[in-house]
Structure 1
């Protein structure tokens, strides 16, 4: 099997496993991305997320993270579902769509493992690692290099055929493959995401200030809220979808191939009153195997209380 055939075989298997797209990029130092990341960190736009400052060298060169690596294989998995088209009531507490189903780390990682094992089988062995938002890897930047889309002005990856309701995974392996052509930016003059952000977190195109981002405040921010932060929440109690919901490219979103990523009725049926009365036991039951577990019961309760105090 030559290089081109091996590359195609890997892509075919990725799609068979349920991934929506697969692309390939050469492992190398990410000079432009390193410069932009360093500038963003120096401006303290990462808020309290100090972990983003760790392992900087590995973050911008996967060859340091995985010695001997030659290729980054990037995959996309849509988490869109038809029920997501329903508009939220203006007075309803909201959870970001990506957290309506099973934790994406669990779903993607099990399938990335299968893809990794398959590569080893058809190649007579492979060395490397696989990740999904679980290591110092610039996953969106590698997806762009693998030809799977472009970074939108809201800083999320956009794919022409899939929109932006996407999870990203990657395998960093020691096998040279045929590399994909990169996609050009198709945002044009559109500024809908910037205009729609209620907190002005998108301070300029392609740049997000975490200190003003609702997703950061409701998930990564661990302290109590001050009054101005409470005002920023806009009834979101975990994450935020505003900048993606207004993007014209979301009309291309495809229903997720992974049933585990589909919305769970026990999550989407919750009312404001039920949220306000949520107990630790109910939290564990409703969000078993869910990404919402990241904020823990204490964090979600803090968010619910803040939204209630602000007045829905």
Structure 2
């Protein structure tokens, strides 16, 4: 089977599995990203996410993580919801946490794609990831022709905007590689930078996570600093502000991934429901959710932080 046919079959299978887009890139060291990563680490923009300082070389060169890897199969999965949780009667979660844990959903689909390659294309060795390994996922998505990096540091796909999960499958099989996305379509727009209530953007493309609401409500182990609590507004897990204001996210089609559909109970949650949620209730509602990363105690702490401020 020639490379072109092999690539076509893999892309078609990825789309049939429900992925929104699929691209291919040759595995090599990401030279252009090295200085940016070094600056990010040297300025401690990662806060308490100390794991970011580990595996510097592997982040730049996946062949050190997956020996023998020749190709990166990069996929996107749209998660823009049909309905946004009310910000009038309840507290807010980031859209990516409405349904089941995206790590498991994306990797489950990648596992099927990997099995397909081995069974229908050729014997294959490799590994697949979704926000679960030291991989510069957005850089690989750009390299695979799937979009450009916006000034908020997120990947923007011209069709699906930035509300997409990125997954990658590194394999020892050669493919027909896509052209890297070499254009950006943000122009002079700075809506994402200007809209951040906690001024977390140091500069275009540079985020200080220590001020980011997503970091403060998920990764930070302690309580949100008093001076940053007003910036939370009614957000108790994550933040979508810099995505919500993006012009590329204004006319998106909602996803059709049933695993990402929120439970009806969650859609009807009020501020009172959140304040009174028990550990048992949290477990029942979010046992398969990305909210597990923050945990019950952190969530309650975030709720208390929001309620302590007169918004």
TM-score, normalized by length of structure 2? 0.97
Q: 2:146 pairs with 137, 145, 148, which one? A: 148
Query: What does residue range 23-172 of structure 1 map to in structure 2 within 5 Å?
Result: 23-84=23-84, 88-89=87-88, 92-172=90-170
Give, in angstroms, the shift of residue 181 of structure 1: 1.0
CA distance in 2, matches of 1:295, 1:215: 11
| Match in the other structure for 2:290 | 291
1:263 Cα shift?
2.4
Q: Distance in 2 between matches of 1:13 and 1:97?
A: 27
1:273 — aligned with what? Answer: 272
Tell me the distance in 2 between the aligned counterparts of 1:88 and 1:232: 15
Note the C-alpha offset of 1:11: 0.3
Residue aligning to 1:250: 249
| Aligned twin of 2:308 | 309
| TM-score, scaled relative to structure 1 | 0.96
Contact 2:90/2:269 (CA < 8 Å) preserved in 1? Answer: no
State the match for 2:210 in structure 1: 211
Q: Which runs of 4+ in 1 moved over 4 A?
A: none
**Pairwise CA RMSD of aligned residues?**
1.3
Displacement of 1:87 in angstroms is 6.6
Is the partner of 1:278 in helix, strand or coil?
coil
Which segments of 5 or more consecutive residues in structure 2 lack a partner in the other structure? none
Q: Deviations over 1:66-102 (max 9, x none)?
A: 0010011000000112213x7732x742111110011
Q: Distance in 1 between matches of 2:224 and 2:156?
A: 32
CA distance in 1, matches of 2:258, 2:90: 26
Q: What is the CA deviation profile of residues 219-267 of structure 1, one whole-angstrom value per residue up to 9, with x for unaligned ones?
A: 0000123311322322210000100000010134232231111222222
2:126 & 2:225 partners in 1: Cα distance?
Answer: 45
Report the count of equivalent residues: 310
Q: Is the 8 A contact 1:163 1:250 kept in 2?
A: yes
CA distance in 2, matches of 1:248, 1:231: 26
Q: State the match for 2:260 in structure 1.
A: 261
